[in-house]
């Protein structure tokens, strides 16, 4: 009961936020003087041609009116068509977003167990190993993703020649058809994700280990794996999940960069291409979709943290 009300309230909040943020995205791309007209008509178009294009794209109407009609269409599942190639934005989303989600899922599968192990180890042991891993994570988190990717390319693709440099996916196929093409993108994203997640988990574990509850368990002679699995992890999981979901934004950014390094056919690559081509409807549609995905992840994280937190209260 309680949980339903909680989810309902959060859902309403997320919906309001999505409307506000989509308006902000719309404003930044459409109201401000980005010259969508020259992008479509060409720079050397005459004034008459420019006026025609402006009317054809509906850019002669006030911005608020354009946003209202765009939002109404979006609610019906129509995000408009891109200026370049007249592709429907929803079609691009439908073909590219699954590829990006696959990348995210594989990264999560690699990162979550490793980060849990490292976080538990460093958070409980402390000392030199803790400092080494923490400093390593700090260093790794500071380096831009594309630099990590470039170094991995230098070692694995150029020097050792074990992995392909770009993720070429055959037309009409999915990335799963060429698992080797997925290796470098997943490896790069996992390195970044591991650095972030380990630091957060370490803090949660250290906090949980300092609670009287865990102190009592330790005094009762519980230690090692049993202490970690039965007492620390359930208590650290709630805060850790919450902290991790807050880094989703950063990981979405990382994914955009990594997709661009490896020419991976995901939504981030498409977004960058749209920005480079000044394809305003495509940028608006993809950016809004990404924000919606992020809000969904945050909501999911909140619910998970609440469920885990409830369990913690039972434990006491």
**Residue closest to 88 by CA, chosen among 100, 76, 101, 104:** 76
Contact, 89 vs 281, CB < 8 A? yes
- Cβ 12 to other proteins shortest distance, Å: 14
- Shortest Cβ 187–other proteins spacing (Å): 16
Residue for token pair 């049993």: 226
Q: Which residue has the tokens 């129509």?
A: 78
Least Å distance, CB 216 to other proteins, is 18
Q: Which two tokens stand for residue 228?
A: 């970690």
Q: Which residue number, 124 or 233, has a Cβ lying nearer to other proteins?
A: 124
Q: Which CB atom, from 2 or from 210, has the smaller least distance to other proteins?
A: 210
Pairwise CA distance, residues 256 & 251, whole Å: 9
Shortest distance in whole angstroms from residue 309 CB to other proteins: 20
**Quick check: 175 and 167 in contact, CB under 8 A?**
yes
Nearest distance from residue 1's CB to other proteins, in Å? 27
Say how far apart CA 110 and CA 186 lie, in whole Å.
8
Query: In terms of C-beta density within 10 A (0-12 exposed, 13-18 middle, 19 or more buried), how is residue 204 classed?
Result: buried
Q: Cβ closer to other proteins: 44 or 48?
A: 44
Nearer to other proteins, 102 or 141 (CB): 141
Question: 10 to each of 102, 275, 295, how far by Cα in Å?
Answer: 27, 32, 10
* DSSP secondary structure letter of residue 81: B
Q: How far is the CB of 138 from other proteins (least distance, A)?
A: 5
d(CA 194, CA 110): 9
For the bound state, the minimum distance from the C-beta of residue 287 to other proteins, rounded and expressed in Å, comes to 5
Taking the CB of residue 253, how many other CB atoms lie within 10 A of it?
14
Question: Residue 51 or 275: which CB sits closer to other proteins?
Answer: 275
Report the alpha-carbon distance of residue 280 to residue 35 in Å, rounded.
9
- Site of interaction with other proteins (CB under 8 A): 17, 20-21, 25, 28-30, 32-35, 126-127, 131, 135, 138-139, 141-147, 150-151, 153-154, 157-158, 165, 196, 199-200, 203, 206-207, 209-210, 243, 247-254, 256-257, 260-261, 271-272, 274-276, 278, 280, 283, 287, 290-291, 294-295, 298
Report the residue number, 27 or 176, with the smaller CB distance to other proteins. 27
Q: Measure the CA–CA gap between 284 and 267, rounded to whole angstroms.
A: 13
Q: Which of residues 72 and 151 has its CB atom nearest to other proteins in the complex? A: 151
């Amino acid at each position: 009961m309680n949980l339903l009300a909680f989810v309902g309230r959060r859902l309403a909040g997320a919906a309001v936020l999505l409307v506000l943020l989509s308006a902000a995205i719309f404003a930044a791309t459409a109201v401000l003087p980005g010259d969508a007209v020259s992008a479509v008509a060409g720079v050397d178009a005459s004034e008459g041609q420019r006026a025609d294009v402006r009317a054809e794209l509906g850019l002669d109407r006030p911005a608020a009116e354009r946003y209202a009609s765009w939002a109404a269409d979006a609610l019906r599942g129509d995000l408009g068509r891109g200026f370049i190639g007249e592709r429907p934005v929803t079609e691009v989303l439908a073909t590219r977003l699954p590829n990006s989600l696959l990348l995210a899922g594989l990264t999560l599968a690699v990162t979550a167990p490793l980060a849990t192990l490292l976080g538990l180890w460093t958070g409980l042991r402390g000392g030199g190993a803790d400092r080494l891993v923490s400093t390593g994570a700090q260093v790794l988190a500071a380096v831009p993703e594309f630099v990590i990717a470039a170094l991995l390319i230098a070692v694995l693709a150029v020097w050792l020649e074990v992995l392909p440099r770009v993720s070429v996916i055959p037309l009409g196929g999915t990335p799963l058809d060429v698992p080797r093409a997925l290796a470098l993108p997943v490896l790069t994203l996992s390195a970044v994700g591991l650095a972030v997640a380990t630091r957060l988990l370490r803090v949660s574990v250290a906090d949980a280990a300092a609670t009287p509850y865990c102190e009592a368990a330790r005094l009762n002679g519980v230690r090692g794996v049993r202490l970690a699995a039965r007492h620390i992890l359930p208590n650290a999981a709630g805060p850790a999940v919450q902290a991790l979901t807050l880094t989703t934004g950063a990981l979405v950014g990382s994914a955009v960069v990594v997709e661009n390094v490896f020419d991976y056919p995901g939504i981030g690559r498409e977004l960058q291409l749209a920005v480079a081509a000044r394809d305003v409807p495509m940028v608006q549609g993809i950016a809004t979709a990404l924000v919606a995905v992020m809000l969904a992840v945050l909501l999911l994280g909140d619910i998970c943290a609440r469920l885990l937190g409830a369990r913690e209260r039972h434990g006491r």
